């Protein structure tokens, strides 16, 4: 990376109205710091308590998804296994009159298929139908081994009031990179 590209990086972040960007492993400590920083920034820039709470709530779910579902990408060599990366990316921005939370993380192709079906189903539903789905998963669902309730994405869609924008970028035969963009008006 050349020294002048620091300024390019700055301009890119400025253009995207970045509030906070992070790339790396999402640990419990990191999660705490991001929440603390974002909360204090929101206190300064957002007058509506309602919207402040919405952004914060959605951020909690996005971060906890990264924390619980982050996968290490393992490269299978001829006679060795090597961990390529277990990093995620998170960008919180405030362009014009809305907020955006973007996340990206590696996911196995097998899990990606299930996740895509789940998101497609969520995106078909209107506000009331999302509420019914939430109630049904809440009352019938069980905790996974990671202690997650399967409600995160439903809650994100419900609170944001927008469709989930997503894509799965193919990395190799085993992994994809899952990109999610949540808009909060």
Partner 1 sequence: MENINLDGTPKTPSVTFNFENGTLEIRGRSIPENSVEFYKPLNDWIEQYGESPQPATVFDVKLEYFNTSSSKCLLDLFKLLENINKKDTDVKVNWYFEKDDGDIEEAGEDYQAIIPLPFTMIEVEEI
**Given candidates 6, 117, 138, 169, which one binds partner 1 under the rule CB under 8 A?**
138
For partner 1, which is the closer residue by CB, 5 or 49? 49
Tell me the CA end-to-end span of the chain in Å, nearest whole number.
36
Q: Choose one: 78-86, 87-95, 154-162, 177-185; the region binding partner 1 (CB under 8 A).
A: 154-162
Q: Which of 13, 30, 60, 125 forms a contact with partner 1 (CB under 8 A)?
A: 60
Contact 89/104 with Cβ under 8 angstroms?
yes
> Judged by CB under 8 A, which stretch of 86-94, 114-122, 132-140, 169-177 contacts partner 1?
132-140
Distance from C-alpha of 133 to C-alpha of 176, rounded to nearest angstrom: 27
Determine if 151 is a binding residue for partner 1 (CB under 8 A).
Answer: yes
Give the H/E segment covering residue 99: strand 99-108
β-bridge partners, 104: 89, 179
**Is 176 exposed, middle or buried (CB count within 10 Å of its CB: 0-12, 13-18, 19+)?**
buried
Which residues in the 32-51 window bind partner 1 by CB under 8 A? 32, 35-36, 49-50
- DSSP H helices in 16-151: 28-45, 49-69, 109-124, 127-140
Which listed residue (155, 157, 176, 182) binds partner 1 by CB under 8 A?
Answer: 155
Binding site for partner 1 (CB under 8 A): 28, 31-32, 35-36, 49-50, 53-54, 56-57, 60-61, 64, 67-68, 131, 134-135, 138-139, 141, 143, 147-149, 151-152, 154-155, 159
């Amino acid at each position: 990376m050349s020294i002048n590209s620091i300024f390019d990086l700055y301009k890119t972040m400025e253009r995207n109205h970045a509030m906070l960007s992070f790339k790396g492993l999402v640990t419990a400590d990191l999660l705490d710091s991001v929440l603390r920083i974002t909360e204090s920034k929101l206190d300064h820039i957002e007058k509506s308590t309602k919207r402040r709470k919405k952004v914060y709530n959605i951020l909690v779910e996005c971060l906890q998804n990264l924390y619980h579902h982050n996968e290490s990408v393992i490269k299978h060599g001829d006679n060795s296994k090597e961990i390529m990366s277990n990093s995620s990316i998170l960008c919180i921005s405030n362009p014009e009159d809305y907020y955006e939370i973007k996340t990206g993380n590696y996911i196995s192709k097998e899990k990606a298929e299930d996740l895509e079906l789940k998101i497609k189903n969520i995106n078909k539903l209107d506000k009331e139908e999302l509420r019914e789905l939430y109630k049904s998963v809440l009352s019938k669902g069980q905790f996974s081994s990671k202690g997650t309730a399967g409600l995160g994405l439903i809650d994100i869609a419900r609170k944001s009031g927008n469709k989930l924008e997503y894509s799965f970028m193919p990395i190799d035969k085993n992994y994809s990179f899952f990109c999610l963009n949540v808009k909060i008006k």
